[in-house]
Amino acid sequence: MKLAYYPGCSLSTTGIEYNMSTLAVARTLGLDLWEIPEWNCCGASSAHLTNHLLALALPARNLAIAEEAGLDVAVPCAACFARFKATEAAVKDSAETRATIEEVIGRKYEAKYTVKSLLDVFVNTVGLSQIKTLVNRPLEGLKVAPYYGCLLVRPHKITQFDDPEDPVTIDQIMSAIGAEPVYWGYKTECCGAAHPTVVPEVGLKMLKSIYQGARDAGADCIVTACPLCLTNLDMRQKEVGEQNNTQYNLPVFYFTELVGLALGHDPHTLGIDKHFVDALAFLKNKGFLNPVQNRRDSE
Amino acid sequence: MKRVGVFICHCGTNIAHTVDCEKVAKTAAEFPHVVFSTDYKYMCSEPGQMVIKNAIKEHKLDRIVVASCSPRMHEPTFRKCMESAGLNPYLMEMANIREHCSWVHPDKEKGTEKAIDLVKMAVAKVVKNTPLTRSSIPIHKRALVIGGGIAGIQAALDIADAGYVVDIVEKEPSIGGRMAQVDKTFPTLDCSACILTPKMVDAAQHPNINLVTYSEIEKVEGYVGNFEVTIRHKARSVDVSKCTGCGTCWEKCPTKVASEFELGLGTRKAIYTPFPQAVPNKPVIDRDNCRYFKTGKCMVCQKLCPTGAVDYTQEDQLETIRYGAIVVATGFDLFDHSVYGEYGYGKYPDVITGLQFERLINASGPTAGKIKRPSDHKEPKTIVFIKCVGSRDEAKGKPYCSKTCCMYTAKHATLVKEKIKDSQAIVFYMDVRTPGKNYEEFYQRAVDEYGVQYVRGRVSKIYQKGDKLIVKGEDTLLGKQVEVEADMVVLATAMVARSDAGDLARKVGFSYDQHDFFTEAHPKLRPVETHTAGVYLAGACQGPKDIPDSVSQASAAAAKVCGLLSKNEMATEPIISAVNESICSGCGLCISICPYKAIDLKTITERVHGKMLERQVAAVNSGLCQGCGACTVACRSSALNLRGFTNEQILAEVDALCL
């Protein structure tokens, strides 16, 4: 299974472990991820706030390269995914928009192929049963709070996968690798995005309710598919805990890290040692770091 | 030689403001066949009609054109005027120079020009008019009421009291409908059962009313005064003539099933009456769940029945009965709130609908009137009510307002405060709409005397946290986000049409709207009639309605039925389709296109080259045809023609305008 792969800027910087774990897991799952050559920034919120055409043209250039290669595109980052999907929809929606974009990027882009969230690829392209058969270190007893954030599955008209109010794909993947997803009400709450930095009195409060929600639901850790969510939840946890005279002790993982662990990868290959809240010690405590034999890679 | 008179009406200034009526009259005098033309301030008035009558006499007019308002307004007036002047009323045409001209155009010069054109067309048409006569059809003096809720019961009682036989066909085992499920009624808080059950008994005991329960409408044929209705009596598995309603069978039946009447909050047996006050108090066997019907063993009910009424061999039976009039009163369903992910997709046990709440507070309900949460049967202390769930929501629900929710939510919140003293009732609302006698006062009392808290804003999310429901929303008046820890949430879900409403409307042959509510003939002036003669509407099947509105509409429908049944025969409009048999090919296209099921094929015998040949042609039933003209357009050989609007008349109008 070959897919074009767009890591985006987060996965080469703050979310580098998302990239490491994705590539490692993809090999095991038999996914051939072809990184889009000379990819550019998706524009994220900056382009979106500056100029509508710019916000469409930036993703379009990447998509055009993938289209030339005749491939669907897998996107791990929630923000990149949102921008790519919006571009795909705009181009499908209006021939006029398409012509303008093509002129700006100097390439043809007809939205012939589909942009997919990496979660979507895991559940619907690879398939849960395939993941299940490849597991050799089931994460039994690990209670995880699946956290999707506000952007990943919304607006549904554009993202077109999973449920906008009660998404379940991370839950399903966690069940497939033997972990236990807890039921909680904060799956799609906002992590605060830039607010923890810019307006901490607002942003940190939002994070606090998520930590508290995960803890009340009995979760050991939080699993996400968004680099910004992870950065906020991981980096600010100590600060929010101190403000509230508590320690949440909730390591935050990318879903690919836990899948990688369950498939038998070394935690360092997956980048699990790069978190603020000590994830390695946590996993060691849980007994998930004992070396496994015979990792079964998909051919 | 035809002699046409033209009469231009000013309608005060309604027409004269934009149309130079005098000029129209003068111009019209020059049209072919016109021998007299005049204008007058109010043509429909007594002196106006005298102008017409005198002109007919004086100028020996044999047909006239009145240029005034819409024929919907005054066609009957001017037809009567023609009749009293001794002319056939169908030799009159109206040119609508008000709604179609003066009211919609600002420019007097162009308005006058258009009015002249409209009159020219009407003159061209009236010249081709032929005298038409009304015919009459007999009326069968028996009425059918479909649906045995409060609307159906009221309509039946009124019709029966007037002396006519009426059958109530109800698909459930008992009459009573939604009102039987309701606990108390606003704005007086009198108990629903206390005012409904006596009416149910009245209906059962009335010598002119037949209760036909556990039965459905299979087929409707015929037309006003003469409907042939086939009713399916579903197999009850109980011989009602032997059953005394003693209750031994349902006490001893070993199979428990979730009760439809209790909306899943309670159980019933496989042999059951839906509720204790059921009328008739005779059970039915739910064959899908009965142990005997599933496994061939059990038969407990049959063994224990003291009168030997249980009969497993019963089968559905069809019966055809003739009726003069039909009242449709099939009620409503509730919107399925499981489309709302933000309210938990219907998965949280303690998020319930308003109607479920009615069962929870009802003394004969599953909790004997104690408010208990469905999940753990604990008494809830904080109850959140959310209004407009599915109503006024074009994205996920219905665009319309369900009309009753504001009041029943105020009632629910009041009852919570009355029954649980230390409770908190919080209502999230968009608007509070209380148009009804004593309604606003009732709502104010809920707020002022009972301390119900109203929060203006929508709820964005409900989620479960431990045994609490966290309700997140917005208080738009304070501009703040609010979060409530609730024990139970009650959703005021929208009233929607019955899921099979469209099927019934097609079976009986009347129209329904985009939401499957039945369409009245006129939203203001004919609110209980349908476009199909002899079929009337009552209650929430026509649109969301509370009990007082349903009852008023039911009595209004009954009055219409009595008016119809009081005559031995009725005159029919002569403006109906006619078949030219000599050119009809019998293709049958008109049959499928006719919305009133008024066309059938019949066999005729013709002499062709000395031989007698049989062939089929279309035949129009004059009782059913409403003169819509759809068949005349569909007919490939122009064999169908609408009397009063023949192809020749329409073409004459077009020629007058275009040539």
Instruction: Locate the domains of chain A by residue range.
Output: 2-117, 128-286
Q: Of the candidates A163, A165, A185, which has its C-beta nearest B465's C-beta? A: A185
B43 vs B15: CA distance, rounded Å: 12
CA distance A96 to chain B (A): 28
CA distance A213 to chain B (A): 8
**Residue B464 and residue A183: Cβ atoms within 8 Å?**
yes
Q: Using one digit for the tens of pLDDT, what is the confidence trace for B177-206?
A: 999 999 999 999 999 999 999 999 999 999
B339–A contact, CB cutoff 8 A: no
pLDDT at position A297 is: 67
Contacting residues of A for B470, CB less than 8 Å apart: 185
CATH topology of domain A2-117: Glutathione S-transferase Yfyf (Class Pi); Chain A, domain 2 (1.20.1050)
pLDDT at position B541 is: 98
B345–A contact, CB cutoff 8 A: yes
Helix (H, G, I), strand (E, B) or coil at A224: strand
Query: Best of A150, A165, A168 to disrupt the B interface by mutation (most B CBs within 10 Å)?
Result: A165
pLDDT at position A123 is: 97
pLDDT at position B597 is: 85
Contacting residues of B for A163, CB less than 8 Å apart: 341
Q: Which residue in chain B is spatially nearest to A167 when comparing CA positions?
A: B341
Q: Of the candidates B340, B345, B464, which has its C-beta nearest A185's C-beta? A: B464
Helix then strand then coil, % of chain B, to nearest 5: 30, 30, 40
CA distance A259 to chain B (A): 28
Residue B653 tokens read as: 């109008």
Contacting residues of B for A184, CB less than 8 Å apart: 463, 465
pLDDT at position A45 is: 87
CA distance A118 to chain B (A): 23
Strand pairing class (A252-254; B4-9): unpaired
CA-based angle B295:B299:B305, to the nearest 5?
A: 160
Phi-psi region of A70 (alpha: psi -120 to 50; beta: other; left: phi over 0): left
Beta strand segments in B476-532, E:
480-486, 488-493, 495-497
How many angstroms from the chain centroid is the CA of residue B319?
25
Domains of chain B with bracketed CATH = 4-127 (3.40.50), 134-234+316-331+498-569 (3.50.50.60), 235-314 (no CATH), 336-495 (3.50.50.60), 577-643 (3.30.70.20)
Residue B25 tokens read as: 């009259």
Q: Of the candidates B342, B461, B465, which has its C-beta nearest A216's C-beta? A: B465
Torsion of CA A218, A221, A223, A227, to 10 degrees: 130
Q: Of the candidates A166, A183, A213, which has its C-beta nearest B341's C-beta? A: A166
CA distance B460 to chain A (A): 10
Q: Which of residues 449-508 of B touch A (CB under 8 A)?
A: 461, 463-466, 470
Instruction: Tokens 């954030």: give the residue.
Output: A149
**Residue A163 and residue B341: Cβ atoms within 8 Å?**
yes
**Residue A185 and residue B470: Cβ atoms within 8 Å?**
yes
Query: Best of A166, A168, A210, A215 to disrupt the B interface by mutation (most B CBs within 10 Å)?
Result: A166
B442 vs B401: CA distance, rounded Å: 20
pLDDT at position B622 is: 84
**Residue A185 and residue B341: Cβ atoms within 8 Å?**
no
Do A85 and A92 contact (CB within 8 A), yes or no?
no
A99 vs A91: CA distance, rounded Å: 9
pLDDT at position A295 is: 66
Contacting residues of B for A186, CB less than 8 Å apart: 463
pLDDT at position B572 is: 82
Contacting residues of B for A185, CB less than 8 Å apart: 461, 463-465, 470
Assess whether the region A2-117 and the region A128-286 belong to the same CATH fold.
no
**Residue B341 and residue A183: Cβ atoms within 8 Å?**
no
Q: Of the candidates A163, A164, A185, which has its C-beta nearest B463's C-beta? A: A185
CA distance B470 to chain A (A): 9
B341–A contact, CB cutoff 8 A: yes
**Residue B342 and residue A165: Cβ atoms within 8 Å?**
yes
- Encode burial over B489-522: b for 16+ CB neighbours within 10 A, e otherwise: bbbbbbbbbbeebeebbebbbbebeeebbbbbbe
List Cβ neighbours of B224 (8 Å cut-off, separation of 6 or more): B137, B139, B324, B325, B532, B533, B534, B535, B564, B570, B623, B624
B396–A contact, CB cutoff 8 A: no
Residue B103: pLDDT over 90: yes
B87 vs B129: CA distance, rounded Å: 12
Contacting residues of A for B340, CB less than 8 Å apart: 165
Model ipTM? 0.80
Lowest mean pLDDT among A78-87, B5-14, B395-404, B614-623: B614-623
Would you give the DSSP letter of residue A166? S
Positive or negative: CA dihedral A228, A234, A235, A239:
positive
Closest CA to B12 of B105, B98, B108: B98
Q: Using one digit for the tens of pLDDT, what is the confidence trace for B608-622?
A: 888 999 999 999 988
**Residue A216 and residue B461: Cβ atoms within 8 Å?**
no
Would you give the DSSP letter of residue B540? G
Contacting residues of A for B341, CB less than 8 Å apart: 163-166
CA distance A271 to chain B (A): 33
**Residue B464 and residue A163: Cβ atoms within 8 Å?**
no
pLDDT at position B595 is: 83
Closest CA to B545 of B557, B563, B560, B561: B557
A82 vs A73: CA distance, rounded Å: 13
Contacting residues of A for B489, CB less than 8 Å apart: none
Contacting residues of B for A217, CB less than 8 Å apart: 465
Closest CA to B593 of B645, B628, B637, B641: B628
pLDDT at position A296 is: 66
Q: How far is CA B91 from CA A188, A298, B88, B146, in A?
A: 72, 89, 6, 41
Residue B222: pLDDT over 90: no
Q: Which residue in chain B is spatially nearest to A186 when comparing CA positions?
A: B463
The number of C-beta contacts closer than 8 angstroms across A and B is: 23
Q: Using one digit for the tens of pLDDT, what is the confidence trace for B105-116?
A: 999 999 999 999
pLDDT at position B101 is: 96
Upstream peptide bond of B280 is cis (omega within 30 degrees of 0): yes
B380 vs A61: CA distance, rounded Å: 57
List Cβ neighbours of B73 (8 Å cut-off, separation of 6 or more): none
Residues of chain A with pLDDT under 70: 293-299
Beta strand segments in B108-252, E:
135-138, 142-146, 165-169, 184-185, 190-191, 209-212, 215-223, 226-233
- CATH code, residues A128-286: 3.40.50.11810
pLDDT confidence band for B570 (50 / 70 / 90)? confident
**What average pLDDT is seen over chain B?**
95
Do A259 and A177 contact (CB within 8 A), yes or no?
yes
Q: Using one digit for the tens of pLDDT, what is the confidence trace for B284-310?
A: 999 999 999 999 999 999 999 999 999
Residue B74: pLDDT over 60: yes
Contacting residues of B for A205, CB less than 8 Å apart: none
Contacting residues of B for A165, CB less than 8 Å apart: 340-342, 345, 461
pLDDT at position A144 is: 98
Contacting residues of A for B485, CB less than 8 Å apart: none
CA distance A193 to chain B (A): 19
